[in-house]
């Protein structure tokens, strides 16, 4: 890849996406920070990024992109390629959470979550891969979660979308390597970090099904405290942006498929599962007479 990469980051209004866009731009990359409704609901966030780019002379642009809309994704990626001449890296960060009992979500809410967290990734990848294959060079990073390796109560719907993402990325990794496309994929699995993500999560709307869980839901805030490390200092979300930047900086062929980024006590289980998963893929590949993906299987930060 070129030293100065052309990078699309989705979901940059706040949190990991915002930090990643700023971090990569400050490292000298050409960054397209995407968000939906950049001229309406998210205009303040777009203005903040544009102001930052001007103040620090960063090659950072805001792009309107809604991962739930086919045309929006296609047009945004086409515009980036036309404007920059190429697209080297995509960071699939856009996502939404859930913090309610599974049975209390309506079909419409379930679709909403999958449409953003899973189908949105597929839309972006479909739009980006043709140009990356043509240049025989590219990297697509996905922001998953340790909850995509092990589910917790009241986060089950979110976990389901991240479990699905894990399967998709593992298959993408396999298929693109068998194709000798020059395109790599990777997934970053953060633990719990203090961002706006929780506040923006979707709460289940079926009150009849929520009622039996009321006593347990009262304990949810205490459980969040345990997840965040109890009385210890809260982890810094910048760690996730730094992990993404480090993946981009690594030489092609040396990047791990999975990178766990979490404080002590959160990421160990995911790291173990990642190692076992790599062994399973190796075994199945051998039995099918196929060569297994050659990238390092996992890394823990």
Catalytic residue from among 32, 105, 111, 158: 158
Question: Under a CB-based contact definition with an 8 Å cutoff, are residues 29 and 59 in contact?
Answer: yes
Please tell me the number of Cα atoms within 13 Å of 168 on its side-chain side.
24
3-state secondary structure the chain: CCCCCEEEECCCCCHHHHHHHHHHHHCCCEEEEEECCCCCCCHHHHHHHHHHHHHHCCCEEEEECCCCCHHHHHHHHHHHHHHHCCCCEEEECCCCCECCCHHHCCHHHHHHHHHHHHHHHHHHHHHHHHHHHHHCCEEEEEECCHHHCCCCCCCHHHHHHHHHHHHHHHHHHHHHHHCCCCEEEEEEEECCCCCCCCCCCECCCCHHHHHHHHHHHCCHHHHHHHHCCCCCCCCCCHHHHHHHHHHHHCCCCCCCCEEEECCCCCCHHHHHHHHHHHHHHHHHHHHHCCCCCCCCCEEEC
Q: β-strands 183-190, 298-300: how paired?
A: unpaired
Question: Under a CB-based contact definition with an 8 Å cutoff, are residues 193 and 264 in contact?
Answer: no
Establish whether 158 is a catalytic residue: yes
Q: What is the spatial distance between Cα 174 and Cα 119, in angstroms, rounded to a whole number?
A: 19
Q: What angle do CA 107, 165, 153 make, to 5 degrees?
A: 60
218 burial class (0-12, 13-18, 19+ CB within 10 angstroms)? exposed
Question: Which are the catalytic amino acids?
Answer: 158
């Amino acid at each position: 890849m070129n030293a100065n990469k052309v990078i699309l980051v989705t979901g940059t209004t706040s949190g990991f996406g915002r930090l990643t866009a700023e971090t990569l731009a400050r490292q000298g990359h050409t960054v397209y920070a995407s968000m939906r409704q950049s001229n309406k609901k998210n205009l303040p966030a777009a203005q903040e990024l544009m102001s930052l780019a001007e103040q620090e002379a960063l090659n950072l642009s805001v792009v309107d992109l809604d991962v739930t809309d086919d045309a929006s994704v296609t047009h945004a990626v086409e515009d980036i390629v036309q404007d920059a001449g190429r697209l080297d890296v995509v960071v699939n960060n856009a996502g939404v959470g859930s913090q309610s009992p599974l049975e209390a979500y309506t079909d419409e809410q379930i679709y909403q979550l999958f449409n953003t967290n899973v189908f949105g990734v597929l839309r972006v990848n479909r739009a980006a891969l043709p140009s990356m294959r043509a240049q025989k060079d590219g990297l697509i990073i996905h922001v998953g979660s340790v909850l995509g390796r092990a589910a917790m109560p009241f986060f089950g719907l979110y976990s389901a979308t991240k479990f699905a993402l894990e399967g998709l990325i593992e298959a993408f990794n396999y298929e693109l390597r068998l194709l000798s496309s020059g395109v790599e994929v990777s997934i970053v699995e953060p633990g719990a970090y203090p961002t706006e993500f929780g506040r923006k999560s979707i709460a289940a709307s079926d009150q009849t099904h929520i009622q039996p869980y009321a006593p347990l839901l009262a304990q949810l805030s205490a459980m969040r405290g345990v997840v965040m490390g109890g009385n210890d200092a809260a982890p810094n979300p910048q760690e996730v942006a730094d992990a993404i930047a480090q993946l981009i900086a690594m030489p092609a062929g040396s990047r791990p498929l999975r990178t766990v980024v979490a404080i002590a006590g959160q990421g160990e289980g995911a790291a173990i599962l990642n190692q076992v998963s790599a062994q399973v893929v190796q075994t199945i590949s051998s039995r099918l007479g196929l060569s297994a993906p050659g990238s390092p299987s996992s890394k823990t930060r």
